[in-house]
Amino acid sequence: MKAVAVLPGKPNSVHLREIPQPKLNDQPHAHVCSIPEGRAVLVKTLQIGVDATDREINEALYGNAPPGGEHLVIGHESFGEVLEVGAKVTELKPGDLVSCTVRRPGGSIYDKIGRNDITSEETYYERGINLCHGYMTEMFVDDAEYMVKVPPQLRHLGVLSEPASVCAKAIDQAYLAQHRLQVWSPKRAFVLGAGQIGLLATMMLKLRGLDVYTLATKPGPHRKSEIATAYGATYVSTKQESMHDLAKRVGKP
């Protein structure tokens, strides 16, 4: 089957490649962690998102091949349809739509309690990014543990699951850190950038009831400013108003 891969360390090496089709009993990243007996899920890829991390990997600024090989299959923003599940998978069945998480657990206390997203280790094992092959291929296998079921009604948004999880976590961590203040009830947020992360963060901060300003360079109206505005945020072009002037104009809530 086909896959899109790079040769880590070699700039602009992105290429189409023939790789073996996966089977349910494969162990795609046994060098990090094994899929327990009966817990594997085979997924047919429907969509894969591409972001700045992918661009950096292709520019050889980041990323390593899994041990024993020269290439790295890229793609970490996954969305697909379940084709087959192991005997011990009860939470998913063929036909279900899923996104698959990126980082696999290492050895730190965070990894051991299921918070491999905040590992304290310096080496990350991330599918499509570092030391594990990614999802930009026709099919892939992984542990049901790392599959996130996407409701069919959200099929058109499923590929945004991974970037959305990044925003949700960042906002959640900010609120958790501010528990140190005993009381903290923010009223206004400034989002720097209107790429997918900026727009998803805008949406989530609006859902928290904040007055949101989304800042990017290009003067609107354009697609991004329209999306920010549709969420109820105020889009600001930093070419038209500096951050300093904006802060001065809107003041404290």
Chain contacts with its own copies (rule: CB under 8 A):
109-110, 113, 115, 118, 122, 173, 176-183, 185, 252
Q: Which is nearer to its own copies, 174 or 192 (CB)?
A: 174
Q: Which is nearer to its own copies, 110 or 190 (CB)?
A: 110
Report, in Å, the least distance between residue 190 CB and its own copies: 16
Distance CA 226, CA 218 (A): 12
Q: Which is nearer to its own copies, 119 or 225 (CB)?
A: 119
Q: Which is nearer to its own copies, 120 or 217 (CB)?
A: 120
Q: Which is nearer to its own copies, 54 or 111 (CB)?
A: 111
Report, in Å, the least distance between residue 229 CB and its own copies: 29
Residue 167's φ and ψ, nearest 5 degrees, are -70, -45
Residue found by looking up tokens 């490649």 in the block: 17
Residue 119: CB atoms within 10 Å? 20
Distance CA 167, CA 152 (A): 22
Report, in Å, the least distance between residue 112 CB and its own copies: 9
Cα distances (Å, whole numbers) of residue 86 to 38, 56, 100, 114, 249: 4, 35, 16, 21, 58
C-alpha angle 43/129/138, rounded to 5°?
25
Distance CA 130, CA 147 (A): 19
Q: Which is nearer to its own copies, 153 or 185 (CB)?
A: 185
Report, in Å, the least distance between residue 245 CB and its own copies: 18
Report, in Å, the least distance between residue 109 CB and its own copies: 5
Buried b / exposed e across 127-147, counting CB within 10 Å, b at 16+?
Answer: bbbbbbbbbbbebbbbbbbbb
Distance CA 197, CA 207 (A): 15
